[in-house]
Amino acid sequence: MLLNGAEIVIACLKEQGVDTVFGYPGGAILNVYDALYKHREEIRHVLTSHEQGAAHAADGYARATGKAGVCLATSGPGATNLVTGIATAYMDSIPIVAITCNVGVSLLGKDSFQEIDIAGITMPITKHNYIVKDITKLADTIRKAFQIAKSDRPGPVLIDIPKDITANQTEYTPVTVNTEGIKTVSVSEEEVEAAVQMIEAAKRPYIFVGGGAVLSGASKELKEFVDKVDAPVTDSLMGKGAFPGTDPRYTGMLGMHGTKTSNYGVSGCDLLIVAGARFSDRVTGNTEKFARKAKILQLDIDAAEMNKNVVITQGVVGDLKETLKRINEKLPKQSHPEWLARIREYKEKYPLKYHQDTLTGPFIIEEVYRQTNGEALLVTEVGQHQMWAAQYYKYTKPRTLLTSGGLGTMGYGLGASLGAKCGCPDKTVINIAGDGCFRMNMNEIATAVRHHIPIVQIVVNNHVLGMVRQWQDLFYDERYSATVLRDAVDFVKLAEAMGAKGIRAQTQEEFAEALKEALSCDCPVVIDCQIGADDKVWPMVAPGAAISDAFDEEDMEE
């Protein structure tokens, strides 16, 4: 059949099973939006308030559903506004396809109005990108883009289409495509055997779970693996929910704001088994002092991660789900009662603690857990509230904590929560933000209202940039440079001005009531929670220190 380029874009999206796209129109992409209008009953378009919100929404949709998220933007500033969202997805290996349109082919490279080399700009932050100058190659390019985004280690792909290509016509032939993605990395039998031997020889094994366990859908295999190894389990921020946070073997997060139990346990183990994690500096602290008593066994789909940040003893390269299946088949049941008893002693001696007599970030997260029975899908911005959400909510399923781990993008969460709710309409979706982060993209509350997306937005409002101020307090002699946000902004009035419901909470009781009301309300709700400016995230590891040097408020007082 004869179609123009814009119609081919929509036809290819339908081939891929795309049901929702997020975007913002403009001159260069008008033909695509015209074609989208004709198919509006098949593909929902969510008009965000800013293109950055569209990129984050596509990311949140992908993280929540496991499918590729799609965002659209016009040329020039429209395309560049996607960049932060694309980089966020790239750092966390999230499959999104960003479709931008550019000036016509004859105008490229001539500094035309709203022209930008978006392919050049995004080259370092995409798995691959394309500029399509030949309409006969458009359909195959879109199909390749989705396959690349979802295959092996996932990530974002950008397609830039000049406007005349969206208007030109060519013959289009529908095809049936594989929408699952392809795992091309085969697991080496030799590496599996070596891994099994290392595990059998260990007396004090520890399992460290990263985001790869979520992306590969390896939760079932991971649980079986943990039972076989008989070891305690810690995770990274990105690994939350891959292994149940309610399991007795779980010891909390690892690293800068990890639990003392996990930090001390990993520092004292003789084998660290790393399942789909990349040894971020926030996890390792001083790499020269990280797990110095342990052999390290790393299981990861990306060979480039082996020996990149930490020198390992043995690696197994391949999709984590398949790798764990293979190891589970060969590994006899292990038993480490003394080691697990020592870890239980750590858990009893070093529990997470916070001040119980006032409204605090930890109380907010625990109350959310209580009222949602641990079944909510939590999204966060970046900062203190993000760490509290990681520490105090017990994630029992994968894809239930969506957060910017690698890039640390303030302003990520609200857009991502919209995408998550669109992808999982039956789930309760709650975005946890600090007041500094909320300011970044709070205009997306208008998007939630416009499209009737009933998310709950909790603002942990301490009137400062909390995490940066915490560092200033501890390491900069209380020089609070540019971190105090004492101004006249009223988030309740702001929410109401955009058509949402706004509620303010200053006490534990007020927050509990506000959350109860928000969860029963079929509309976007903003809860402004007033907490103290000096509240801190504990424990903490100082910059350049070993994770075994984690300290908390009691250590500071002593």
Respond yes or no: is residue 238 known to be catalytic.
no
CB of 368 within 8 A of CB of 458? yes
14 is catalytic: no
In angstroms, the CA 384 to CA 210 distance is 20
Catalytic residue, candidates 410, 440, 467, 540: 467
Q: Is the dihedral of CA 253, 254, 255, 260 positive or negative?
A: positive
Which residue out of 67, 127, 150, 163 is catalytically annotated? Answer: 163
* Integer CA distances (angstroms), 444 to 68, 338, 447, 462, 533, in order: 21, 52, 5, 21, 26
Q: Which of 114, 314, 506, 508 is catalytic?
A: 114
Say if residues 90 and 129 touch (Cβ distance below 8 Å).
no
Instruction: Pick the catalytic residue from 38, 42, 113, 220.
Output: 113
Concerning whether 114 is annotated as a catalytic residue, the answer is: yes
Is 16 a catalytic site residue? no
Through-space distance between the first and last CA atoms of the chain, rounded to whole angstroms: 77
Q: Assign 511 to helix, strand or coil.
A: helix
Burial label for 38, CB within 10 Å (0-12, 13-18, 19+), is exposed
Q: In the annotation, is 221 catalytic?
A: no
Reference 124, options 74, 158, 75; nearest CA is 158
What is the DSSP annotation of 83-116? HHHHHHHHHTT--EEEEEEES-GGGTTTT-TT--
Gap between the Cα atoms of 239 and 229, Å rounded: 19
User: In the block, which residue shows the tokens 């366990």?
Assistant: 213
Question: 146: which strand partners?
Answer: none
CA dihedral 419, 420, 423, 428 (to 10 degrees): -130
Peptide bond into 539 cis (omega under 30): yes
Active site residues: 51, 113-114, 163, 467
